[in-house]
């Protein structure tokens, strides 16, 4: 067995986005495309010889092939040991946990998250560092730099071992540990949450529905919810991971998890409904008759986290991405802890978690997590909710109402315009940036603009500055609209418009969201000239 050096040419489009490199499968299938990017991951690091690397993916189409490449290339590049989930499968939070628990120097995670899978759909490769979290920008920039000049890659002249047999194997001189993807993760959840209390909740007749969306969390949910916690058989639906997610988008929102939503709004709804995405890091939370927005869920989880054993000591701080609503800010204020506002993407939370400045983090895009790993974690959010419900024994509706009566309510919505023309999207953003300086003082749809800026973030831990993270238009009275372009899409551009209005506890807490936000939506559309510039009169997805 030997290391082969293969000559290659750079591809110039391998810049990682919000969460790694994402392209369509046929794009990844171009000669040496995946190999180049994997080699760039190694070329951008040093000192990993002989050390451990975690490799796993969400099981989507093309996963097995690229897992094999990762193993053979790791061996050729001098990695000492690869830990890989059985069948090449690991949820993103489980991969993060494995990296941390095994002392690995990092991990390669193959996923395109909530994007669809299949021969013509999406694929992705992402590198996580030793803390278990997504590589920060300086690392992804270094990887991108390597992809632009790459001339060769290294690969072991040996097949990757059979990934379906748990146990110890070998690839060249490198050890390969094929592990149960669920076990360690389920054990971690059992440390954080009061499993006996949740078991008692289920035993009392509490009913739940968990939609795994034919994606990676099925086996995790079966093991944890049905086996360890005693939820009724059939609680987990779509629990078998499929390479194409059954032709669905594994995106836990009200569009793609509509069947779950309808069931939860129906006459015989279970007490609690939840879903997770392709790679298991997102969560959708729906109570009987009530959808909890991710921003509200973050705030409510933070306010009640002390009810779970893992957080009984209290929280060190809360972090949220800038477009996420300010609901969590009010909880942080009441708890007397720090609130950190970061750019979009989980990679910005890693430093805050490592420095002990935040315990719970969240994004409006159905991502919530904590210091237990360095990724957002769908099932973790579900289990924290279950722990809270097991202690409070209130309905979700009652918990939400009590929360708003204490903190006030942040009405919130995000409008997505998907696959629009890239030039039109860039021009729309440029136009907003051009107008920013003169907007303050203008009145639109009865709302006076107090300030407008392009969000930038100075990382308090490493001092790095991230600019151009989204245009914010702040209205007098605390309402706002935020505009940014997606960094995870694979066709054209996706414009995201985030709108928020704060209603104090003494105000009207029971408005329909669309009504509460009506003038803000109208003002946002007019200011950005959304219809004229995108040719769309309505968003594709409202969350
Ligand atoms: C989206 C979400 C963002 C999340 C990311 C990865 O990124 O908006 O919050 O961290 O997916 O799951 P975007 O497409 O907006 O760049
Ligand atoms: Zn995801």
Rounded mean pLDDT of 7-17? 96
Task: Identify the residue whose C-alpha is closest to ligand 1 atom 2.
Answer: 365
CB burial readout 304-330, b (16+ within 10 A) else e: bbebbebbeeebbbbbbbbbbbbbbbb
pLDDT tens digit sequence for 85-121? 999 999 999 999 999 999 999 999 999 999 999 999 9
* Whole-angstrom distance, CA of residue 481 vs CA of residue 80: 49
Would you say residue 389 has pLDDT above 70? yes
**Nearest ligand 1 atom to alpha carbon 281:** 12
Residue 1: pLDDT band with limits 50, 70, 90: low
Q: Domain-by-domain residue ranges, the chain?
A: 3-181, 185-407, 409-542
Task: Identify the residue whose C-alpha is closest to ligand 1 atom 13.
Answer: 486
CB burial readout 186-214, b (16+ within 10 A) else e: bebbeebbbbebbeebbeeebebbbbbbb
Would you say residue 18 has pLDDT above 90? no
Question: 313 by DSSP, 3-state: which?
Answer: coil
* Predicted model pTM: 0.95
Across 133-147, 319-333, 476-490, least confident range: 476-490
How far apart, in Å, are the Cα atoms of 14 and each of 18, 107, 143? 13, 18, 9
Instruction: Check if 370 is active-site.
Output: no
Q: What does the pLDDT read at residue 488?
A: 81
- The percentage of the chain sitting over the pLDDT mark of 90, rounded to a whole number, equals 96
Best substitution site from 19, 366, 466 to test ligand 1's pocket, by max atoms within 8 Å of Cβ?
Answer: 19
| Mean of the per-residue pLDDT values of the chain | 96
pLDDT tens digit sequence for 399-447? 999 999 999 999 999 999 999 999 999 999 999 999 999 999 999 999 9
Residues with a CB atom less than 6 Å from ligand 1: 18-19, 113, 321, 344-346, 363, 365, 367, 486-488, 496
Contacts of 515 (CB under 8 A, 6+ apart): none
For 185-407, CATH gives 3.40.120.10
**Nearest ligand 1 atom to alpha carbon 114:** 12
Which ligand has an atom closest to residue 295 CA?
Answer: 1
pLDDT tens digit sequence for 186-221? 999 999 999 999 999 999 999 999 999 999 999 999
In 3D space, the residue among 449, 447, 417 whose CA is nearest the CA of residue 534 turns out to be 417
Which ligand has an atom closest to residue 368 CA?
Answer: 1
For 3-181, CATH gives 3.40.120.10
Domains 3-181 and 185-407 share a fold: yes
Would you say residue 346 has pLDDT above 70? yes
Best substitution site from 128, 216, 363 to test ligand 1's pocket, by max atoms within 8 Å of Cβ?
Answer: 363
Rounded mean pLDDT of 328-347? 97
Contacts of 216 (CB under 8 A, 6+ apart): 58, 59, 89, 90, 91, 241, 278, 279, 280
Q: What does the pLDDT read at residue 332?
A: 98
pLDDT tens digit sequence for 277-310? 999 999 999 999 999 999 999 999 999 999 999 9
Q: Both tokens of residue 517?
A: 């936000």
Task: Using the mean position of ligand 1's atoms as its centre, give its distance from the Cα of residue 486 in Å.
Answer: 7
Which ligand has an atom closest to residue 344 CA?
Answer: 1
Rounded mean pLDDT of 11-15? 97
Report the greatest alpha carbon distance in the chain. Answer: 73
Task: Identify the residue whose C-alpha is closest to ligand 1 atom 10.
Answer: 345
The domain covering 409-542 belongs, at the CATH homologous superfamily level, to Alpha-D-phosphohexomutase, C-terminal domain (3.30.310.50)
Q: Residue written as tokens 């957002």?
A: 376
**Nearest ligand 1 atom to alpha carbon 17:** 16
Q: What does the pLDDT read at residue 490?
A: 76
C-alpha triplet 252, 242, 371: angle, nearest 5°: 50
Q: What does the pLDDT read at residue 249?
A: 94
Best substitution site from 133, 365, 483 to test ligand 1's pocket, by max atoms within 8 Å of Cβ?
Answer: 365
Would you say residue 19 has pLDDT above 90? no
Q: What does the pLDDT read at residue 336?
A: 98
Would you say residue 155 has pLDDT above 90? yes
Eight-state DSSP code of residue 348: G
Q: What does the pLDDT read at residue 306?
A: 98
- The active-site residue out of 19, 113, 276, 371 is 113
* Whole-angstrom distance, CA of residue 115 vs CA of residue 124: 10
- The percentage of the chain sitting over the pLDDT mark of 70, rounded to a whole number, equals 100
Task: Using the mean position of ligand 2's atoms as its centre, give its distance from the Cα of residue 360 in Å.
Answer: 18
């Amino acid at each position: 067995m030997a290391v082969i050096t293969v000559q290659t040419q750079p591809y110039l489009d391998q810049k990682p986005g919000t969460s790694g490199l994402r392209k369509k499968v046929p794009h990844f299938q171009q000669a040496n495309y995946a190999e180049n990017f994997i080699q760039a991951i190694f070329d951008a690091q040093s000192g990993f010889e002989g050390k451990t690397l975690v490799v796993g993916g969400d099981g989507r189409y093309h996963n097995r092939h690229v897992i094999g490449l990762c193993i053979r290339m790791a061996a050729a590049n001098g990695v000492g040991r690869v830990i890989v989930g059985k069948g090449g499968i690991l949820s993103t939070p489980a991969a993060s946990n494995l990296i941390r628990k095994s002392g690995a120097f990092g991990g390669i995670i193959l996923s395109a998250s909530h994007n669809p899978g299949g021969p013509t759909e999406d694929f992705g490769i992402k590198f996580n560092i030793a803390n278990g979290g997504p590589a920060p920008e300086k690392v992804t920039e270094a990887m991108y730099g390597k992809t632009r000049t790459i001339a060769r890659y290294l690969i072991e002249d040996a097949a990757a071992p059979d990934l379906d047999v748990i146990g110890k194997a070998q690839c060249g001189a490198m050890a390969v540990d094929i592990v149960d993807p669920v076990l360690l993760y389920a054990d971690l959840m059992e440390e954080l949450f009061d499993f006996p209390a949740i078991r008692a909740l289920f035993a009392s007749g509490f009913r739940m529905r968990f939609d795994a969306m034919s994606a990676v969390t099925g086996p995790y949910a079966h093991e944890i919810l049905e086996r360890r916690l005693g939820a009724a058989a059939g609680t987990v639906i779509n629990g078998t991971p499929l390479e194409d997610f059954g032709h669905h988008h594994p995106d836990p929102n009200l569009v793609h998890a509509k069947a779950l939503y309808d069931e939860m709004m129906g006459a015989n709804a279970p007490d609690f409904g939840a879903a997770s995405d392709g790679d298991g890091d997102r969560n959708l939370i729906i109570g009987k008759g009530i959808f909890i927005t991710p921003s509200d869920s973050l705030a409510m989880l933070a306010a009640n986290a002390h009810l779970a054993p893992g957080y009984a000591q209290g929280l060190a701080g809360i972090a949220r991405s800038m477009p996420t609503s300010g609901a969590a800010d009010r909880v942080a204020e009441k708890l007397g802890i720090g609130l950190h506002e970061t750019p979009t993407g989980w990679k910005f939370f890693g430093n805050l978690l490592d420095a002990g400045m935040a315990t719970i983090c969240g994004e409006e895009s159905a991502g919530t997590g904590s210091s237990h790993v360095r990724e957002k974690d769908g099932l973790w959010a579900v289990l924290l909710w279950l722990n809270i419900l097991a202690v409070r024994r209130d309905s979700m509706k009652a918990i939400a109402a009590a929360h708003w009566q204490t903190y006030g309510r942040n009405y919130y919505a995000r409008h997505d315009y998907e696959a629009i023309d890239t030039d039109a999207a860039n021009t729309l953003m440029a136009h907003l940036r051009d107008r920013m300086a003169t907007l303050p003082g203008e009145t639109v749809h009865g709302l006076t603009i107090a300030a407008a800026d392009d969000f930038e973030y100075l990382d308090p831990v490493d001092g790095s500055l991230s600019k151009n993270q989204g245009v914010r238009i702040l209205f007098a009275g605390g309402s706002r609209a935020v505009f940014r372009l997606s960094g995870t899409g694979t066709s054209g551009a996706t414009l995201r418009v985030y709108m928020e209005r704060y209603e104090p506890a003494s105000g009207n807490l029971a408005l329909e969201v669309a009504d509460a936000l009506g003038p803000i939506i109208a003002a946002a559309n007019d200011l950005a000239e959304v219809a004229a510039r995108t040719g769309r009169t309505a968003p594709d997805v409202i969350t």
